[in-house]
């Protein structure tokens, strides 16, 4: 499936970077969104097609609005939004500091809400578009040391379910990806390399997501569940 313009948050690393490469290979113009320009440049260096880079703080609705408007001015539309930006800090609840709690809730949940809000306006005007929310298995099953991380991901799940009802009579599709652990920087401070080597490759997960979102029903592939609301 080819989209003219795809915007991907968290594109500087992990699954966001992998999805950026895959959509680029499909011929889309990929808008790389993230906090760190150096990481976005690294992803861009591995793309074969057209791209643009936007530094954005997804926890700031004002900043999100400015960046989305800039993209729309340059490209006319955002045909697919991938909410991949995420933060995970894994500790027992009593060990979490307030700033760590705020960071996870703001990035994982509020960031997804803000980006979806801004992109959905144009999608409704055109009556077309696709939104893919990267939730993770922690949005379906509670795990120890993931109380707040799970809270943020369960929140994205509930948010997505509600938005799906709001757009039920449109041609806009919203999808949630619930995947198991991947070999990404999310775990660099919590697990040794021997354990993370057993995790899924984000490039493989990106292939599954792109393939699965072409379909209309719920699909189970390896450790990845793709829930397609429409």
What would the pLDDT profile of 188-213 be if each residue is shown by its tens digit?
555 555 555 667 788 888 999 998 88
Segment (H or E) for 209: helix 202-212
Helix 202-212 to helix 14-25 angle (10° resolution) is 50
Q: Which residue has the tokens 């997505």?
A: 160
Tell me the chain's radius of gyration from C-alpha atoms: 16
Q: pTM here?
A: 0.88
Where in the chain are the domains? 5-228
Q: Among residues of the chain, what percentage have pLDDT more than 70?
A: 85
Residues 90 and 190: beta-carbon distance below 8 Å:
yes
Question: pLDDT averaged over the chain?
Answer: 88
DSSP string, 14-45: HHHHHHHHHHHHTT-EEEEEES-HHHHHHHHT
What would the pLDDT profile of 8-67 be if each residue is shown by its tens digit?
999 999 999 999 999 999 999 999 999 999 999 999 999 989 999 999 999 999 999 999
Catalytic residues: 149
As a whole number of angstroms, the distance between CA 22 and CA 47 comes to 9
What integer pLDDT is reported at residue 217 of this predicted model? 39
In a 13 Å sphere around the CA of 215, the CA atoms on its Cβ side amount to 12
Q: Among residues of the chain, what percentage have pLDDT more than 90?
A: 73
* Architecture category of domain 5-228 in CATH: 3-Layer(aba) Sandwich (3.40)
């Amino acid at each position: 499936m080819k989209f003219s313009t795809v915007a991907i948050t968290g594109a500087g690393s992990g699954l966001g970077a992998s999805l950026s490469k895959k959509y680029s290979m499909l011929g889309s113009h990929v808008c790389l969104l993230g906090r760190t320009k150096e990481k976005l440049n690294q992803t861009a260096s591995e793309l074969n097609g057209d791209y643009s880079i936007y530094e954005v703080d997804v926890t700031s609705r004002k900043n999100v609005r400015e960046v989305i408007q800039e993209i729309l001015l340059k490209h006319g539309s955002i045909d697919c939004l991938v909410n991949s930006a995420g933060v995970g800090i894994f500790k027992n609840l009593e060990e979490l500091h307030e700033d760590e709690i705020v960071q996870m809730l703001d990035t994982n949940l509020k960031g997804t809400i803000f980006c979806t809000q801004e992109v959905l306006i144009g999608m409704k005007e055109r009556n077309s578009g696709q939104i893919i929310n990267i939730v993770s298995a922690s949005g379906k099953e509670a795990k120890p040391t993931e109380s707040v991380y799970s809270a943020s991901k369960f929140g994205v799940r509930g948010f997505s379910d509600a938005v799906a009802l709001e757009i039920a009579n449109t041609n806009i599709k919203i999808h949630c990806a619930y995947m198991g652990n991947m070999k990404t920087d999310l775990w660099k401070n919590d697990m040794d390399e021997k354990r993370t080597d057993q995790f899924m490759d984000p490039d493989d997960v990106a292939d599954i997501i792109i393939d699965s979102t072409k379909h209309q029903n719920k699909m189970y592939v390896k450790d990845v569940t793709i829930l397609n609301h429409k």
